[in-house]
Amino acid sequence: MRTTFINTLIELAKNDDRIVLLTADLGFSVFEKFEKEFPDRFYNIGISEQNMVGIASGLAIAGKKVYVYSIVPFITMRAFEQVRIDICYHNLDVKLIGVGGGLAYGPAGATHHAIEDISIMRSLPNMTVLAPGDPYEAKQSILETYKIKTPSYIRLSKNGEPLIHENTENLKFEIGKSIMINEGNEILLLTTGNMLEQANEIYKDIYRLTDKKIGFYSFPTIKPIDKEMILKISKKYKYIVTLEEHSIIGGLYSSISEVLMKNNLKEFKLERIIPFAIEDKFSHCVGSQMHIRKCYNLDKESIITEILKINKIIRS
């Protein structure tokens, strides 16, 4: 997704000389293209994230469209107060690009994992939060946030994510709108960000195992969350399974629950939400993203087992 980001940004920057890219010493082997083409619009601020976000604020006040890049925890947490005040309170045209959402940095360890970022970013007023799940969603996220003049946070994965949305001619990507991949009934699988690939495999496997195509939606925008769609699906589905590579606290599951609980629950067909997320526990489990998911029971097999259990309940 980093290359999707840089390639898309280069296209945008060709036509808009207000665009400036700041990095906190990261982007090696990916950003050189941008730097070569726009040397006076690229700055490696160095390993000083708070400074970088403050500088982004100053640039944006002076009219620039600023893209700020680092690994998710460093840009959202190290610089959180600067994001909160210098960017959000001032409501500036700054896009925070975080790489390595969820457990994408795998064996690098906990300091490089992004577990709480969605919850803290969405708690900020004026902040738009996106977690694209494949290169299509990533490119569209960059293109659509370019059009807005208010703060946004885009949580990228790392690289090598496969394209999940294959037929996109009829798709119209919009900030704040979920994407329906399949409309089923009874069971709905709902995901965001880098869990999209695994969700797609689960969806296909469930079909193989039960001959049933469950509902399957992607939520690339966490904030503003697609309230309309959430209410619609709660009136159609009995079980919603949420899937995110983020803490159980404050991410996709929380966002959806917040919307649902404000309504007249009697109007819902929905009986339960079954959330899959990172439990509220640090892990010293060492390994790849896939391996650590297993340590947290977020692997494909664990989730399929649970969905099959639900399916059994429905059938009986």
Partner 1 sequence: MTKENLLIKSNEARKIILEMKYKSKSSHIGSAYSVLDLLIYLYYEKLNMTKENLNTNKRDRLILSKGHASAALYSVLSLKGFLEKEKISNYYCDGGDLPGHIDNTVSEALDVSSGSLGHGLSIGVGLALASKMDRIENTIVVILGDGELNEGSIWEGAMSATRFNLNNLLIIVDANKFQGYNKVDDILNYERMVKMWKSLDFEVFEIDGHNFEEMKKTMGAKSFMKPTVIIANTIKGKGISYMENKLEWHYKSPNEEQFILGKKELEEKVK
62 is an interface residue for partner 1 by CB under 8 A: yes
Pick 82 or 191: Cβ nearer partner 1: 82
**In the complex, minimum distance from the CB of residue 40 to partner 1, in angstroms, rounded to a whole number:** 6
* Span of 77-85, 199-207, 250-258, 262-270 interacting with partner 1 by CB under 8 A: 77-85
> Per rule CB under 8 A, is residue 53 in the interface with partner 1?
yes
Would you count residue 149 as binding partner 1 (CB under 8 A)?
Answer: no
Q: Is 68 in the site for partner 1 (CB under 8 A)?
A: no
What's the CA angle centered on 96, arms 193 and 173, to 5 degrees? 50
Q: Binding residue for partner 1 (CB under 8 A) from 19, 21, 60, 156?
A: 60
First-to-last alpha carbon distance for the chain, in angstroms, is 43
**CB of residue 94 vs partner 1: minimum separation in angstroms?**
10
Which residue among 50, 168, 283, 302 contacts partner 1 (CB under 8 A)? 50
Per the structure block, which two tokens stand in for 222? Answer: 């966490």
Q: Which of 5, 71, 70, 66 is nearest to 34 (CA)?
A: 5
Nearest distance, CB of residue 39 and partner 1, angstroms: 11
Among 63, 111, 147, 281, binds partner 1 (CB under 8 A): 63
Nearer to partner 1, 40 or 169 (CB): 40
- Of 47-55, 69-77, 224-232, 287-295, the segment contacting partner 1 by CB under 8 A is 47-55
- Tell whether residue 174 is a contact of partner 1 (CB under 8 A): no
Which C-beta is closer to partner 1: that of 53 or that of 187? 53
Contact status: 90 vs partner 1 (CB under 8 A): yes
- DSSP string for 82-115: IIIIIIIITT--EEEEEES-BTTTGGG-GGG-BS
Q: How far is CA 127 from CA 1, 64, 67, 94, in A?
A: 21, 18, 14, 10
| Helix (H) or strand (E) run with residue 35 in it | helix 32-37
- Taking CB under 8 A as the binding criterion, the range among 6-14, 37-45, 185-193, 197-205 that sits at the site for partner 1 is 37-45
For residue 71, give both structure tokens.
């690994």
CA separation for the pair 93, 77 (Å, rounded): 19
Give the binding-site size for partner 1 (rule: CB under 8 A).
Answer: 28
C-alpha–C-alpha distance, residues 288 and 168, integer Å = 31
From 59, 97, 190, 225, residue interacting with partner 1 (rule: CB under 8 A) = 59
> Which amino acid is residue 222, in one-letter code?
I
The CA–CA distances, whole Å, from 215 to 39, 74, 161, 183 equal 47, 36, 22, 5
Task: Name the packing angle between helices 252-261 and 227-234 (round to 10°).
Answer: 70
Q: Which residues contact partner 1 (rule: CB under 8 A)?
A: 20, 40-41, 43, 45-46, 48, 50-64, 81-82, 85-86, 89-90
